[in-house]
Structure 1
C-alpha cells in the first residue's frame, strides 16, 4: 500500500460501522492511498444482461480458486447472511458452489463471500477488483475523495483513492459508491441496494425532482405520463446509438434521441423545475448530439445547454469531480466550433483545473512523466 499506512486509520464511524479516517491533512489532488488488488475479474460488456449477483460470483470464484477467501474475513459482512436470498442471488450462490474450489464450502460461506464482493469490489479499468484497505472507505453522496484504477509498470491492477477536496486530520475519507451523483434519491437508492444503507440527503435533491405544478393538479396528471414516456423513448434511442454496430445506425439513433429530448424540453416548460433530473439528462445529451454534428449554428445553440447542464451538475458534485469532465469538454468543443474563443478558453481553463486535481492517469503515483 502507498503512500503510507500510517496516514490513515480504521475506526468506528457510527451508524456506518467502520470507516477510514485521515491521520493528517490531505490537499485536494493528493493521493490518500494506493493499493494493489487482492484479486480481480473482467466485468461484462455494458450490453450484458448478467445480474449483478452473477457478476459478483465471478470474482468470488477467483478468490476461492486462489485460496484468498480467508483474507476477506475483515470485510463486511463478517458473518452469515440472515435474510433470505432472492432468485437472482440464489442462482449466483448455486453457480459459485458449482465451481470446483467452492465444492467443499458451506452454502453460508459461499453466500457471505458473494456479499463481500457485491459490497466491497471496485470497478477499475473494465475489471472488478477487491482491495481490502480501500474497501474500508465508506460511501457518501457528498464525497471528499474519488477512486481511479491504474496498472503499475509490471501490470498489477491498483486503486488510487485521491482527495477531491481538502481533508482535515481526523476527518473520515468518503467516496461515492454511486456512479452518477446527479441521480435523484430513488435512483441512488437502487445503486446502493447491495449495501445496508441508502443515499445520504443533500441540498440539491429537492431540485432534481421539483415540479412547478402541484401534485394532483390536472395539468400535471396529463403531462407527467407524456414526459416520462418521451424521456424513456429518448433514453432508449441514446442507448441504442451507443450499442450500434455501424456508424450510420449510431447517427440515426442519436438523431432520434435528440428529437425526443428536444420535445421533452419544450413540453416541460412551466412544468418542471430548472434542475429537474429529466431536464439535466435531456440538456446534456441534446447538447452532445448538437456538438458532434460540427455545424457552427448547432454548436452555438448547444452552448446554453452545456452551461445549464454544467450548472445543474455542479450543484450535486464536489468541485473537482470526474462527472464534470464530459460537460467541460463538450462546452469547450461547442464553443470552439461556434467560433466563441472566449467561452472555449473558459471551459478549457476549468477543465485543466479539474484534471490537475483528479490526475486520471495517476502519473504522480506510477512515476510516469507528469
Structure 2
C-alpha cells in the first residue's frame, strides 16, 4: 500500500509578500461576470475604490496624483460603445448628465477599460419648430371640436332654448354634428398624446383620424345647406303631417307658442292652450322662420371651420414626422449590434489588462 504524500501546507506565520504586478478587483468582476453566469449579487454590496497606482506613473501637470493610462482605441466600433452608448445620438437634446458608473451593473469595469462615461440620461431642452406648429394646430382643433360637441350635447339634453324644435325637425343634422364633435375631440386627444411623447406612429393615427372628422363636417354643411335652400317648406309640410306624432307636435307648439300647423284646426295636438277656438296662431310661419335662421347659422358656422381644419390637416401631414430631429426610423446599424463573440473578446481584453482570466465556462454555458 503506497503512502499518499501530504498536501503542501502554506506557512501562515510568515508575512505575505505584496505583488504589485497583479491587480484584482473582486467587487467589479463579481458583478460584471454575474451578468453572464446568471448569479445575482447583493445590491447593497459596497464597491471598493480603485487601488492606488504605483508612484512611477507620470503625473499630469497641476496634479499630485499619477495619471492613469488610457487604453488604445481601435477604428472599429468598440464593445464599450455597444455596452454603454446608444445610436443614433439624439440631437434634440443639448445637455447630457451622466449617471454614476457605480449605479450600473458593470459600469465600473467599463469605466476602467475605456475611461468613458457609462449610460447617460437625456434631458430635452427645446422643442423643434415643427412640434410647436403641430401643438398649436392641435390646441385649435380641441377648441372648436369641444364647442361643437358641447353644443350638440346641450341640444340633446334640452338645455338651450328651442332645443325641442331642433331635436324634432333636424334630427339627422344633430346626429352628424355630435359625431363630428366627438371625432374632433378624440383626434385632438390622440394628437396631443403623440406630440408630447414624440411618437410618430401615434401622430400618423392622428393625421388619419382628421379625415373622417373632416367628412363629418362636410356632411353637416351639405344637409343644412340643401334643406334650407331647396326643400325647407316641403320638408316641414311633410314632416308635420306624416312624420311628427302628437308628442312632437305638442313640444313644438309649447316651445313656439302656437297651435296647429296653419291654424288650430290643422293637425293640432290638443292641450290646455291649444284647442279648436284657441287665439294662438299656426306654427308654420314661426317654425319656417326658426328653421331658416337656425340652418343658415349652422352651415355658415361649420363652413367657417373648413379652412382651419384644412390647415390642421396640412400641419399634421408636414410636421408629424418632425417632432424631433431623429433621422429615419432610428434603427441601430448592424455594426452596433452586441453579440456573444463581442462579449467574449471584451472579457479577454479586460482579463489581460487586469491580469485575471475570463470565465470561459460561463461563456460556453451562455452561448
TM-score between both structures, scaled by the size of structure 2: 0.20
The structure richer in helix per residue is 2
Structure ID, larger Rg: 2
Q: Greater share of strand residues, 1 or 2?
A: 1
TM-score, length basis structure 1 = 0.20
